[in-house]
Amino acid sequence: MNESGRVNTMQNNKRAFVLERFGCKSCALDAKESPLNANCDSDSCKLENDDSNEVYRRIIQYGISAILFAIALLFNSLGYVKFTLFFVSYIIAGGDVILKAAKNILKGRIFDEYFLMSIATIGAFAIGEYPESVAVMLFYQIGELLQDIAVDHSKRSIKELMNIRPDYANLKIGYEIKRVSPQEVRPGDVIIVKPGEKIPLDGKVIEGESMVDTSALTGESVLKEVYKGAEVLSGFINKNGLLTIEVTREFAESTVSKILGLIEEASSKKAPTEKFMTKFAKYYTPIVVFLALIIAVIPPLIIPAATFKEFIYRALIFLIISCPCALVLSIPLSFFAGIGAASKNGILVKGSNYLEALSNVETVVFDKTGTLTKGVFKVTKIKSVNGMSRDALLEYAAYAESFSNHPIAESILEAYGKEVDRSKIKKYEEISGNGVRANIEGKEVLVGNAKLMKMENIDCVTGDSTGTIIHVAIDNKYCGYILISDEVKEDSPKAIESLRKMGIKRIVMLTGDNKVVSDKIAASLGIDEVYSQLLPNEKVGVLEKLYADNKKGKLIFVGDGINDAPVLARSDVGVAMGGIGSDAAIEAADVVLMTDEPSKLVTAIKISKRTKLIVWENILLALGVKIVVLALGALGVATMWEAVFADVGVALLAVLNSLRLLNKK
């Protein structure tokens, strides 16, 4: 498949996915088995397919039925005309329900709401309850219409929150500007982005300067200044200046495509509550139908004064109430609205299961560098000994570290400030977690931590304790050290304090840094459990130990997503920070914080807790009302009117309750 076809398929899948998350009651009872189908005659699908005339058609249909129903009620005696009016009104209002029930029975799906509503209203007609039969079907259909409109509105609202897909790109070809699809643009092409337009592809600014709105990706309302040489990402909105951008990635690999891909994939990862309710609904409806059959048949046989008509009527009420629409519809909607609200705040959650897990956090484990600290290392001190000058010490260290991409190596090279002649380096070896060994103009140079010096039997000084100490030895002779310091992020103390206030008592910090530096940073943040001087592979071992101590809550790990893939994978929820420009972070984590602010984790947990609260509000509302009306129906107190409210009314209320998540900022 070519790139254009692949992207178009992704767009279609996204459209299907949004519908499936909320469960079309005809064609999408199960998201895996029920892709969006153009042939589906479900009202939900028709609304999703943007058929605005469908709403008006249904209003006219139910309006005609209501008029005929009202005329029939005006007749005092039950005659042929009155019966005909009731019958025609019923067919107009509920004919499509009966037809859908028949189709689903042929497909092996018996216990759905269409079957239950058809049996209940046909049964009411059969025992002579014509007005109630028509009224129940009519008000059921009106309720369904309102419910579908509410769900459709919610889907549109959620999609608008994530409306970051660019529609076009202004491709510069010679002296001409051609508007093309973003899929047609290739790396190396030049595009023009005018004020007010979305940046359609990732790239580098080669001309112009402007302020860009990054809120669609980061949730931050503060504008960012970009100028020549700056990296820009698809999904940013250009606010004022004209930008000329050289594209660095094709659309299928752009930030927007990756984010939208994550949102699509989230549909397959259901929360435990969703899975439980799906199983519950599977058994709940048949059980209630069986109980309805018992109510209709047994009491008239054993109670002297009981009549079949009376208890059949009670059984029909049972059938109407038994449909678990409010649960099946509102719970997936609540979780997806929560994912939408998180996305609005610059937090990507890869599934409902991870969103729910965040609400039950017992232990939070932070990696230090780049997560709680800025990860921007600077050389703050150079101490030379044994006749070595400070400049020479820095030069040897810079040459030895010139092949490394570690932040510490970059800080040493930055402090050196000169071009490295790599032809002088004859041999280079990286010693994982400890440092490097290099042969520079015939001299054996070791640059690394105290462990490396000890491994080579070289005595080194303790040095300053306010940063990371990088020792240097040449030909097995100690020559001094370079002190490199990192800063705590301004946002980190606030994040730790907020986590404590939320009841998360165990907060742990992991780092490869030395114990003195680590303890000092942890103390400044209020973290009392620190594991320092860890190699990358040792972090997983520490996590296993923390798991053993964990009682019942979830353990989450927060890192930069670059060197933490094993730990992210082992934790209940792996959270990567600073995912706005990091493919590694987006790929490795379950939750991606698009900015470098630790407080975003607090926001994610708050959204998770609010989502779970609304989910349980909907569950208790639906089950509570249904249980009460079921009991009243069995006792002969409730009528079909109460039954319709218990079904459609509660479902509508649950949907509207779920929409409150979209207002969470």
**Which residue numbers are catalytic?**
367
Query: Shortest CA distance to 454 belongs to which of 438, 476, 432, 480?
Result: 476
Residue 327 CA to residue 622 CA, distance in Å, equals 7
Residue 182 CA to residue 10 CA, distance in Å, equals 14
- Using the structure block, give the residue that is written with the tokens 């006792």: 635
Residue 152 CA to residue 19 CA, distance in Å, equals 9
Give one DSSP letter per residue of 73-136, joined into a string.
HH-SS--HHHHHHHHHHHHHHHHHHHHHHHHHHHTT--SSHHHHHHHHHHHHHHTT-HHHHHHH
Give the full edge-to-edge strand order of the sheet including 361-367. 347-349, 591-593, 573-577, 554-559, 361-367, 506-510, 529-531
Residue 2 CA to residue 186 CA, distance in Å, equals 13
Helical packing angle, 325-344 and 130-161, nearest 10° = 20
Residue 94 CA to residue 61 CA, distance in Å, equals 10
What is the chain's percent helix, strand, coil content, to nearest 5?
55, 15, 30
Residue 361 CA to residue 617 CA, distance in Å, equals 21
Q: Are 46 and 36 in contact (CB under 8 A)?
A: no
Q: Give the containing element (helix H, strand E) for 27.
A: none
Q: What angle do CA 133, 139, 145 make, to 5 degrees?
A: 135
Q: Provide φ and ψ at 469, rounded to 5°.
A: -100, 125
DSSP state of 553: S
Query: Shortest CA distance to 114 belongs to which of 130, 129, 99, 136?
Result: 99
- Displacement of CA 612 from its chain's centroid (Å): 14
HEC string for 645-660: HHHHHHHHHHHHHHHH
3 state DSSP class of 524: helix
Q: Are 371 and 403 in contact (CB under 8 A)?
A: no
Handedness of CA 556, 559, 560, 563 (dihedral sign): negative
Residue 491 CA to residue 501 CA, distance in Å, equals 16
Residue 558 CA to residue 525 CA, distance in Å, equals 15
HEC string for 330-366: HHHHHHHHHHHHHHHCCEEECCHHHHHHHCCEEEEEE
